[in-house]
Amino acid sequence: MENATRENIMWREALRIGVDNIDEQHEGLFKKALELLDAVNSTGEERKQKCISIILFLKDYAIRHFADEEAYQESIGYKDFALHKKIHDEFKKDIGVQEKLLVESDFADKVVKEFTGMLIAWLLYHVSDADQRIVKETEEPEILHDYTDIVCESICNMWAICNILDSKNVKRVEIDFEPHDEDFVVWADLDGGASGHINIVYPPDFVKYLVTSATGFEPENIGELELSLLITVSNFIFQTISELISKDKSISCFAHPATISSKYAIDSHERIVLDTGKGVVGVGITLE
């Protein structure tokens, strides 16, 4: 990935929620994510010290920012306060886990890149979706019933939320699709009242486009950072799928963490193809 500049290119005015101190803090978090991108491109002791500084900042900033955000939610009687606080608490735990991994690896290249990809994807999704819900009324999801529709809606909506693609530009197409060796297959199992697996096949050009849309920087190749970002976005997709299934079918359904896999549509009940205009993405679905 090209060197990050100090310009806060990941920040968009559309991300503002209209609460000045919270918006300023969000903008500061995006700036710190860019600094972490910059740290990835440094080496040795310089990178280690930059990462330590950023981790310490994130731990302190998360505590202060989440406290301010939660206080505002309570002041307006936000109906989903408990759920939002749970997301904050889980993130703080994740930062602690990531800090331990970074320290134990002595800030190894792979671990630093994986942490950076995760952080950027989480921040982009959380501020673009969960934080917007604090001040904006959200429509109840359409009752879909069909698993294929739920999967397609979840994928397209997540791309739109993360400013990757306008869902209106994504079309389901009827073509024969087989993955290429260079494609990236992200796989997740679902359990509970609905069980099975879903895999999404991303061609390399689309992965690069996804990363560029999220960060503003075009990667020269696809490495640990890019794959970490891809997996994190995909985890949000699978989580949304499980939540919609639970709501639509009135059952309990949960998604296991996503992994990069060589498996594609093994024993899948259905395969669908999405033409994104930036590449063709294949999806294999087996759900019961």
pLDDT tens digit sequence for 97-130: 888 898 899 888 888 889 889 988 998 899 888 8
Q: What is the pLDDT of residue 155?
A: 94
Q: Give the whole-angstrom CA distance, residue 246 versus residue 120.
A: 28
Residue that is written with structure tokens 């934080």 in the block: 131
- Which pLDDT score is estimated for 107? 84
For residue 3, pLDDT over 50 is answered with no
Q: What is the pTM of this model?
A: 0.88
E strand map for the chain: 171-173, 184-192, 196-202, 253-255, 259-261, 270-275, 280-287
Range scoring the smallest mean pLDDT among 31-45, 63-77, 116-130, 230-244: 31-45
Per-residue CA distances from 288 to 17, 184, 252, 268 (Å)? 40, 25, 13, 11
- Confidence check: pLDDT of 229 > 90: yes
% of the chain beyond a pLDDT of 90 = 35
Q: Which pLDDT score, from 0 to 100, does residue 91 have?
A: 87
Which range among 2-6, 31-35, 117-121, 206-210 shows the weakest confidence by mean pLDDT?
Answer: 2-6
Strand, helix or coil for residue 12: coil
Q: What is the pLDDT of residue 99?
A: 85
Pair 285, 196: CB distance under 8 Å: yes
Contact criterion met (CB below 8 Å) for 188 and 234: yes
**DSSP of 151-180, one letter per residue?**
HHHHHHHHHHHTTS--GGG-EEE-------
Beta-carbon count within 10 A of 223 CB: 16
Give counts: helices (H), strands (E), the chain: 7, 7
pLDDT of residue 5: 45
* 226 pLDDT higher than 60: yes
Helix, strand, or coil (residue 96): helix
Query: 273 versus 214: which is more confidently predicted?
Result: 273
- Alpha carbons 271 and 253: distance in angstroms, whole number: 21
Q: How confident is the model at residue 4 (pLDDT cuts 50, 70, 90)?
A: very low
- Is the pLDDT at 57 greater than 90, yes or no? no
pLDDT of residue 137: 67
pLDDT digits (tens, 9 = 90+) for 272-288: 999 999 989 999 999 88
Mean pLDDT value across the chain: 86
Residue labelled with tokens 């994190």: 232
